[in-house]
Amino acid sequence: MSGRNRGRGSGVGGGGGDGGGRGRAQPRTGLPSPAVQGRGRGRGGAGPAPTQAPPPTVSQPPVVSHSPPPSQAPSSSTTRTEVSSLSQDVESKLSLQTSPSPVQPMAVVPSSSKSLRPPARPGYGTIGRKCIVRANHFLVDVADKDLHHYDVTITPEVASKKVCRDIISELIASYRESHLGKLWPAYDGRKSLFTAGKLPFISKDFVVKLVDKDDQTRREREFKVAIKFAAKADIHHLQEFLRGRQFDAPQETVQVLDVVFRSTPSTIYTVVGRSFFSPMLGEVGDLGDGLQYWKGFYQSLRPTQMGLSLNIDMSARAFYEPILVSDFVAKYCNVRDLTRPLSDQDRIKVKKALKGIRVELTHREDGKRYKISGVSTQPTSQLTFARDDTDAKISVIQYFRERYHINLKFAYLPALQAGSDLKPVYLPMELCKIVEGQRYSKKLNEKQVTALLRATCQRPFERVQSISRMVERNNYNNDKFVNEFGLRVKTELTSIDARVLPAPMLKYQGTQEVPRVGCWNMIDKKMVNGGKVEFWTCVSFSRLRQNEVFKFCENLVDMCRNKGMDFSLMPLIPIRFAHPAQIERTLVEIHTQSNVQLTSIGKADEQLQMLFIILPEVTGSYGRIKRVCETELGIISQCCQPKQAMKCNKQYLENVSLKINVKAGGRNTVLANALEKKIPFVTDLPTIIFGADVTHPQPGEDSSPSIAAVVASMDWPEATKYRGLVSAQPHREEIIQDLYKTSLNAKNEIVHGGMIRDMLISFRRSTGQKPCRIIFYRDGVSEGQFNQVLLYEMDAIRKACVSLEADYLPRVTFVVVQKRHHTRLFPAEHGDRNSTDRSGNILPGTVVETKICHPTQFDFYLCSHAGIQGTSRPTHYHVLYDENKFTADALQMLTNNLCYTYARCTRSVSIVPPAYYAHLAAFRARYYIEGETLETGSSSGGARGAGQATRERSLAVQPLPQIKDNVKAVMFYC
């Protein structure tokens, strides 16, 4: 959408706003008429009040109308009321109402989200070939025990969960027989203690003496432990929920039983989240740079249709290697000669890596331990300290020589610092060994990520065996805590009835294709709608020779033409060759030179449509290139690796041509039944499909913002072209802030904005239709955030719609897409070619909606892709809101079929493309602000507890650079 055609008006009124006419009276609507593309501003009436203001109380929510709104203009006050009362409307629709009552105004922050309830399952699907799969879920039988919850207070306060567990373990060992009624309490490591039965007191104080295992020289520490009755957990409520007679999950009771299952492994193994690790649980592997991986298992208790289920999966995690710190420094900084001083850069790197790490002294028999607080700025050879008994100073070198008869070998290395800044304790690196079992929580580099993935990459048959062995090893049914609470675990994987959904028919130019086992090829096929590229050129920042670059361009253009694109044979300006140090200057020169050339041939209104870029051999420039092209110059680019450009492999060129086509506004393939208007809930009425995701900064990046991305389909009924928008928001904020927003212009008039509104307007311009339905796939939401995300984001969707037209409330279906879970599905018979793909995984299209799914709500697991290596991870789809009243078959088939429309390859993908595209767009936007740092490490996981400084920094979020309109109009993120 060109900036020249966008009106500057605001509000819902007049002929202004986003491309209305030249001030002529138009119907009062924010959605543009496709036939009128004027440049006028229009005057527009006043819009709704800012969202921050609390809405007025109303006696009942506004009527939701799904028919087209009347053409007459509503008053601005009506529109204002509609928008401001939408919070109440959404909340009232989602809330459990025990009796009719007036709708109360919603506060800016909802006071409670426990009243929200997602829709009930509409029935079960029937489409597809029936089969049986197995899942890594183990049924738990629950006896009707009298569960009691007690609050625990430890004085003085202890930060470490491990120490807290040691204290309570000592308390149980000392007082179980005499004071605890011979019960085995389960402890969560913090503030809660649970028992199967009543303790013989309401409140009691205990004194516990604990020997510090990390420092045997310290005297016993004494703790006061107060245990006080808090509540009773309701097993009956849980049983009613599992039978579908209660709608709200009794999370407190599930948590009690989860703590019971975690009690024993928490005392034996290293705990990381819901996973447990130990060298006893599998071989230890090298990750390089002084790191190693430990194997372990993930464990979680979940309420499901079949009852309580224990989800067990294999896991691996990075840990510090238990080696001398001097050896760690050599590996971590890739330093061969430790007799020379470290550079400032390496010293800071080591300080960041070792801060908070525990080390033990190797020159002392007691192995005294310290927690590292920093690294000295001076080499050890220059450090001195005052003796305790005198004011005389002594050097660290001299002290170790006199006291321990040790001549330090690496005196030029900095010393580790323990203690406080006022009274530091200096420890030579060569005399300190890293204590075993300390998790490495910072980002891993590419090689380490690959090694870690390889450690857990097992074929389905091997993974089943590993999980079964782990369950056998854990021996739950002989665990004293599990027995105490009357729990029994079935040791077999759960068998589940599943269905394999049929693959959709794909439409190409003049032909059709039915994928087989999630794959197909484009041999002798042309893209269904080839894009047009009249003006292109290429620049190489690599060391490739001139003839190799010319050959690559010639072959790539030929491939694009062979696949159906209208691609000019000759570049607009000569192909350029430049040094990687001149990237920005070269891109600006190409942009300027292209504009000059276009003007000279009478095409001044046009612009360079495609720039091929051969990247430098050294990584680190991709982010800068994309930022300059997409936010500063408005150039759509296609980057290629030099080694691939040199090979000119036909398959590679074909894959690149798929990306080029969608960046040129074309379509690679579409669903045949979309063109025939045979997709239920999509093709009967104009439907817009959204994808949304929020990505967070890498571990340790406490000041970077989170980035939200929203994509939406711009073609109907095909639903293959997705426009993308991005926005920065506060650090680790999960709710998308810019779905709908208001601001004041220079005249103090309210201006409506936000990503949803922008997408609805763009859809109307692109298709000539107003969306009557919205299907919203939301990625990156955990179960604990369901209610909060639903309340805020549904409210934003509603407000965006009504800000365009009064009574414009298209039906919305809101689906959460979850990939980060530990459910794995396995074939019932390994090696059966009728039920497995070539990798031994279940077939693409396998859907599960019974036994391991939610007892009452509308959710399912879908494995939409063919496995390549390891065990396939199905995607979990959970419907949080559904005004369209989807059937199970309709939503499952739509989701599976969309997975075959992903633009970048000829394979079905594992998550629905709108969600996939949103992730790509968000990751692209992070390049704009973090540049080359993304290219040197992994971005999985996240740092928590960033602290007050981070919270203060996040209040003022630096906005992202604006993507140029011509770039935004196509799938630039592909």
Among 238-247, 571-580, 651-660, 727-736, which is the least confidently predicted range? 238-247
Is the pLDDT assigned to residue 947 strictly greater than 80?
no
Q: What CATH number is associated with residue 560?
A: 3.40.50.2300
Domain of 163 in residue numbering reads as 139-320+449-492
Closest C-alpha among 431, 424, 423 to residue 360: 431
Q: Which residues pair with 116 in a beta bridge?
A: 95
760 located within any domain:
yes
Amino acid at 808: Y
501 located within any domain:
no
Same domain for 296 and 165, yes or no, is: yes
* The pLDDT value given to residue 389: 64
* The pLDDT value given to residue 106: 35
Interatomic CA distance for residues 360 and 721, integer angstroms? 59
Is the pLDDT assigned to residue 91 strictly greater than 90?
no
Same domain for 276 and 217, yes or no, is: yes
* The pLDDT value given to residue 826: 98
270-272 and 221-233 strand pairing: unpaired
Question: Which stretch of DSSP H or E encloses residue 861?
Answer: strand 859-863
Same domain for 337 and 299, yes or no, is: no
Same domain for 304 and 363, yes or no, is: no
pLDDT tens column, 805-857:
999 999 999 999 999 999 999 999 998 888 899 999 999 999 999 999 999 99
Interatomic CA distance for residues 88 and 54, integer angstroms? 11
Interatomic CA distance for residues 629 and 638, integer angstroms? 10
Is the pLDDT assigned to residue 169 strictly greater than 50?
yes
Contacts of 75 (CB under 8 A, 6+ apart): 45
Same domain for 717 and 748, yes or no, is: yes
pLDDT tens column, 272-329:
999 999 999 999 999 999 999 999 999 999 999 999 999 999 999 999 999 999 999 9
Is the pLDDT assigned to residue 258 strictly greater than 60?
yes
Is the pLDDT assigned to residue 54 strictly greater than 90?
no
What is the residue-averaged pLDDT of the chain?
Answer: 87
Same domain for 649 and 728, yes or no, is: no
Question: Which stretch of DSSP H or E encloses residue 224?
Answer: strand 221-233
Is the pLDDT assigned to residue 642 strictly greater than 60?
yes
Is the pLDDT assigned to residue 147 strictly greater than 80?
yes
Interatomic CA distance for residues 563 and 665, integer angstroms? 15
Among 57-71, 129-143, 357-371, which is the least confidently predicted range? 57-71
* The pLDDT value given to residue 97: 34
148 located within any domain:
yes
* The pLDDT value given to residue 832: 87
Closest C-alpha among 426, 427, 429 to residue 324: 429
Share of the chain above pLDDT 90, in %: 77
Is the pLDDT assigned to residue 4 strictly greater than 60?
no
218 located within any domain:
yes
Q: Which one has a higher pLDDT value, 938 or 592?
A: 592
Amino acid at 84: S
Domain count, the chain: 4
973 located within any domain:
no
Tokens representing 595 are 């504009």
Interatomic CA distance for residues 122 and 888, integer angstroms? 6
pLDDT tens column, 406-451:
999 999 999 999 988 888 899 999 999 999 999 999 889 999 999 9
Q: What is the mean pLDDT of residues 122-141?
A: 98
753 located within any domain:
yes
Interatomic CA distance for residues 246 and 494, integer angstroms? 24
Same domain for 310 and 335, yes or no, is: no
Same domain for 583 and 634, yes or no, is: yes
Interatomic CA distance for residues 435 and 442, integer angstroms? 18
Q: Which one has a higher pLDDT value, 608 or 942?
A: 608
Q: Is 350 exposed, middle or buried (0-12, 13-18, 19+ CB in 10 A)?
A: buried
Picking from 643, 663, 683, the residue at the C-terminal end of a domain is 663
Is the pLDDT assigned to residue 499 strictly greater than 90?
yes
Closest C-alpha among 448, 450, 429, 431 to residue 440: 448
Picking from 663, 696, 731, the residue at the C-terminal end of a domain is 663
Picking from 610, 637, 663, the residue at the C-terminal end of a domain is 663
867 located within any domain:
yes
Q: Which one has a higher pLDDT value, 586 or 939?
A: 586
Share of the chain above pLDDT 70, in %: 84
Same domain for 390 and 534, yes or no, is: no
Q: What CATH number is associated with residue 862?
A: 3.30.420.10
Tokens representing 616 are 């430098």
Same domain for 226 and 265, yes or no, is: yes
E runs forming strands in 703-851? 706-713, 722-729, 741-744, 750-753, 773-779, 811-818, 825-827, 846-848
Q: What is the mean pLDDT of residues 376-387?
A: 91
Q: Do residues 86 and 799 make contact, with C-beta atoms less than 8 angstroms apart?
A: yes
Q: What CATH number is associated with residue 364?
A: 2.170.260.10
Is the pLDDT assigned to residue 911 strictly greater than 90?
yes
Q: Do residues 580 and 621 make contact, with C-beta atoms less than 8 angstroms apart?
A: yes
417 located within any domain:
yes
Residue 57: pLDDT band with limits 50, 70, 90: very low
Same domain for 470 and 606, yes or no, is: no
User: pTM of this prediction?
Assistant: 0.86
Same domain for 644 and 722, yes or no, is: no
